[in-house]
Chains A and B, each alone.
Chain A
Amino acid sequence: MRTYPDVTRGRRLVGAALATVVVALGSLTACSEAGSEQASITYAGFGGTYEEAVRAALFDPYSTEADVTVRYDSSGSDVAKLVQMSRSGSMTLDLIDAEDSSLAQFMAADILQPIDTKSLTGFADPSAVTEYSVPWYTFSRNLFWNKDEVPGGLDSWADLFDTQRIPGKRGLVALPWGILEGALIADGVPVDQLYPLDLNRAFAKLETIRKDTVFFPSNGDLQNAISQGEIVLGYGNLARIKSIATSGAVPLEYTWKGAVLSVQQLVVPKGAPDQAHAVEAIRYSMKPEVQKAIMDKLGYTPSQQSVLDGLDAQTRADLPGTAETASAETFRIDVDWWAKNGADVLKRWQDWQNA
């Protein structure tokens, strides 16, 4: 049979391609096999600058000391997703960073692993410790504004809803807790009579700022938009606000009035692949130096009394939940109410969001 010149050329090309593929496959399998012997845990937090801070304060030192690799996921606030994962038996996370409202939902859904916390002591507020969780700091969400765009600033939740006096885009995270309460406060409900939440009234009040508000899927998105100058006022996590203010991207100011206080807890989900190391990391997070580092990096209040005792008045004046920052308008979310009604409210919230 006569061989055509272009057949040989083509055949050589195919041969070369095949050789490349074989070499590549070989090297890839070699790649994927390496480095799977060390113990590793996966932590679900909230990404962005929060993750950076938690990494530096807790996981980097823990990882070195215990020789455990830590992997990071940013789905800490996706309660529904985490519940779904646990129920379908496909839990890939070992350690979840949960604020008290999420904790309540996790507990209601019964997806948490009990933790042996007897050996952990010295909490400033022992009542925050549960069978399933260890409080590691107190945080807050505060009203904030861009000094250039909102000269008068904000003094209360009513100001956030006053689009006449303060025009401009408001930024909120698309999670209902705190915001529904804030809407009711703005509408004149006294802080001690918030619960049970009058949902119709809260949603009606929210409707009045819908056109001026962007709801972000996560704290990170909100932070992003604030630092790009797209959002000029709103309500968000204090650590994120402080991070923007110190970076100098935009001149940001915040107030303690109307702040929502919350306890941040560490939990281990049922079916976590490496529960032992997860609990070990929680124990590690109670070390005074870790607690101090969290305070320095995020601006939040340590849960260990010994660390609190060592602080001066000036430091305490800018920490959530201390006597210095408490005011009549500062409040805590009713975790029990949210545990009972959270799922229904979320559904209504989602419908409203898309409306």
Chain B
Amino acid sequence: MTTTPTAPETDRAEPASRTTGGRRRPRGWDLSGIPAAVVVAVVFVLPVAILCLRSVTEPTFGLENFTRLLGHAGYRDNIVRTILISAAATFLALLFGYPIAYQMVHGGRWLRTFLTVAIMAPYLTSILLRSFSWLVILGRQGPVNKLLEQVGLEPVGMVFTPIAVVVSLSHYLLPLMILPLAATMRSLGDSRTRAATSLGAGPAQAFVRVYLPLTKPGIQAGAVLCFVYGIGAFVIPALLGGSEGSMLGSLIHSAIKQSGDYGLASAAALVLGALVLAIVVGFQRLTGMSTTELAGRSGTATIRAARTGRGGRRLLKFAGRAAGGLDRLGLTRSRRLPKILAAVLGALVLAPQFIVVPISFAATKALVFPPVGYSTQWYAEFFTASWLDPLTVSVRIAFFVTIVAGVLGTLAAMAVVRGTVHRWGTLTSTLMMLPLLFPTVVAAAGFYVEFERIGLVDTELGIVLAHVTLALPFVFSVVSAGLRSLSPVYERAAASLGASRTVQLRRIVLPLIAPSIATAGLFAFLTSFDESTVAIFLSGVEVKTLPKRIFEALSLETNPTVAVISVFVMGCAAVVWLGYALVRRLTQTPRSHR
């Protein structure tokens, strides 16, 4: 699931101990982080570690799997292709994302609202349902090929090629690019561009030489996030890539599920994990941004001075001169053009969302757009056990995940924000954010292989445990942010009046951060409800979640019922979002501190 908590700032854990006038020194909350840390360590880190170990022990001890993976031209190609596809998708996301982010910050109110909706709507829809949309759009009988034929061109096979993967992946990654970009731009304002213009620069020149370099931290954060999430992609290449567009994620899946080749899968997972780690560490070295900051996806806590290398400076100078030329030609005079561009791009981002509406009313099974005839049979199909049972399972699992992750995450947040041992706090928050940054497909493979040994595959408990680790980062970061905005003075006052820690928690802290906990709970619920990668690995006959059912429908059947679910999810998302906005308004207006 794709959600946006605010980043916790790990370096500000304020000791609550030097306050109470000497007589009673209330201990910190250090121990309350233990349950969550244990769960992440045992359920998430341990299986991944064992998986990594398996790469040198399965089937025999040695580097056989790595020589097979790296010595075989085909597997090497797969690794290179994974990197290239992810890089291309990142670039495309930047190309689309920059103008949109710019107008989300500087545009008029209506444009801003429209663009926010255009970015958030797909963000709330499952990656599976979006893959389905792209299957329709890029298909042989889809609108793109129809258009080509109208113009008199030959239809192009895009599905089962890297094209479909890159397009779909960049669409999926777009919000990850836009959020840090927009945050950076928001912190800039437009004073500097105005200063540049007043000094004689044309709009294009001011943009290229002043604005663009200042947004570099946002570009960097967005690019790294997109790239890291891109190379860990699994569902999109599995459904749209075919053999030509296969990536490491789909290789891991097929090695485990099709051939039971755990050794090769572990080696591939290790390579993928190492790639992600290298990128993140490299990024940290380069910019000084912390992992939690990055995983929290704001990437903007501090805007550092943009440093540009010599080559970059020369390039910038050249681009600036070119832009100056454009300015002199009067090509950039229009203030409306960038707005129109952003609006068109926003509409393009939103379009796949709606293509499923006519498909959901199709009369036949074929994925033709527009459909040949209309019927409501797929709506009827949705209301059968084949779809409602998985729906119930998903809701039930999401409920348990919300409760467990909610409690554990809140306690962990208390430990980090109200703890006294600084090192513990840093360790806990790094551990909490790990599942968000590490490729889910690797974790899913780890879960599968380890859970199978202890009989947790295809059980609700297994999926709940795995989902809890994936939901914890969201709960942890949202509740931490809430706690930070809550002054410790209330607790100190209560403590000085003799309230014990549990009483403080029950009567002061929990009621005050209830809105944060509610938000965190919503994130946890959505994370689990929408989670597809782990579900595809872990669920089977006994326990089939809705995403798993959709995956089956997409890979085994041509089934327009998936379009009905898209419509259904869109409706639900709208209701939930409105409800959430309402609750926020109701609970936050009377708050004085904020």
Contacts and interface: CB of A to CB of B under 8 A. Distances in A.
Given A78-B257, A80-B259, A346-B259, A220 B159 contact: no
Interface in A1-56: 1, 5-11, 13-14, 17, 21, 24-25, 28, 31-32, 42, 47-49
A48 B556 contact: yes
A52 to B, nearest CB: 9
Interface string B458-499: 101000000000000000000000000000000000100100
Given A47-B552, A90-B457, A229-B140, A224 B558 contact: yes
Given A81-B260, A169-B157, A229 B365 contact: no
A325 interface: no
A93 B455 CA distance: 14
B366 A217 contact: no
A354 B78 contact: yes
A88 B74 contact: no
Pick from B74, B246, B460, B513 the residue with the most CB of A within 10 Å: B74
A31 B365 CA distance: 34
A230 B557 contact: no
A245 B556 CA distance: 17
A203 to B, nearest CB: 12
Interface residues of B, number: 66
B259 A225 contact: no
Interface in A215-234: 215-218, 220-221, 223-225, 227-230
Nearest to B402: A21
B72 A230 contact: no
A130 interface: no
Contact of A221 (B259, B365, B460, B555): B555
B587 A354 contact: no
B452 interface: yes
Contact of A31 (B157, B392, B518, B590): B392
Pick from A75, A83, A213, A355 the residue with the most CB of B within 10 Å: A355
Nearest to A172: B243
B426 interface: no
A228 B136 CA distance: 9
Interface stretch (A66-74, A112-120, A156-164, A281-289): A66-74
Contact of A354 (B157, B251, B452, B497): B251
Contact of A214 (B243, B264, B587): B243
A14 B510 contact: yes
Nearest to A43: B541
Contacts of A9: 511, 587, 590
B587 A13 contact: yes
B282 to A, nearest CB: 27
Nearest to A354: B74
Contacts of A217: 254, 258, 555
A216 B246 CA distance: 11
A71 B386 CA distance: 11
Interface in B248-280: 251, 254-255, 257-261, 264
B452 A10 contact: no
A352 B138 CA distance: 28
A351 B518 contact: no
Pick from A8, A42, A214 the residue with the most CB of B within 10 Å: A214
B514 interface: yes
A315 interface: no
Nearest to B256: A81
Contacts of A227: 365-366, 558
Given A224-B557, A354-B251, A355-B73, A92 B140 contact: no
B139 interface: yes
Contact of A355 (B77, B257, B260, B510): B77
Contacts of A218: 555-556
A246 B107 CA distance: 54
B455 A6 contact: no
Contacts of B510: 10-11, 14
B556 A220 contact: yes
Contact of B366 (A169, A220, A249): A249
Q: By DSSP majority rule, is chain A's interface helix, strand, loop, or mixed?
A: helix
B540 interface: yes
Given A6-B591, A47-B552, A90-B452, A347 B260 contact: no
Contacts of A17: 514, 517-518, 521
Interface string B45-76: 00000000000000000000000100011110
A10 B552 contact: no
Contact of B508 (A7, A48, A228): A7
A249 B365 contact: yes
Interface in B262-304: 264
Contacts of B157: 169, 230
Contacts of B518: 13, 17
A81 B257 contact: yes
A228 B501 CA distance: 63
Given A10-B511, A228-B141, A353 B260 contact: no
A249 B366 CA distance: 6
B457 A80 contact: no
A107 to B, nearest CB: 17
A229 B555 CA distance: 15
Pick from B77, B261, B555, B590 the residue with the most CB of A within 10 Å: B555
B143 interface: no
B511 A72 contact: no
B399 interface: yes
A6 B592 CA distance: 9
Nearest to B392: A31
A350 interface: yes
Contacts of A72: 541
B381 to A, nearest CB: 12
A72 to B, nearest CB: 7
A303 to B, nearest CB: 26
Contacts of B244: 214
A13 B514 contact: yes
Pick from B68, B77, B261 the residue with the most CB of A within 10 Å: B261
Interface in A161-196: 169, 174
B229 to A, nearest CB: 23
Contacts of B139: 228-230
Interface string A78-104: 101101100010101100000000000
Contacts of A28: 396, 399
A305 interface: no
A228 B68 contact: no
Pick from A28, A72, A73, A354 the residue with the most CB of B within 10 Å: A354
B140 A224 contact: no
B366 A92 contact: no
B367 interface: yes
B24 interface: no
A354 B591 CA distance: 58
Nearest to A29: B396
A294 B264 CA distance: 39
Contact of A249 (B73, B78, B364, B556): B364
B68 A351 contact: yes
Interface string A234-252: 0000000000000111100
A335 B261 CA distance: 23
Given A355-B75, A355-B77, 10 more contacts: A7-B512, A10-B512, A14-B514, A21-B399, A31-B392, A72-B541, A73-B540, A84-B452, A230-B160, A346-B259
Interface of A: 1, 5-11, 13-14, 17, 21, 24-25, 28, 31-32, 42, 47-49, 71-75, 78, 80-81, 83-84, 88, 90, 92-93, 169, 174, 213-218, 220-221, 223-225, 227-230, 247-250, 346-347, 350-355
11 contacts: A14-B514, A17-B517, A47-B557, A74-B552, A215-B243, A220-B555, A228-B558, A230-B140, A346-B259, A347-B259, A355-B73
Which 7 interchain pairs have the tightest Cβ spacing?
A355-B74, A220-B556, A80-B260, A10-B511, A229-B140, A10-B514, A11-B511
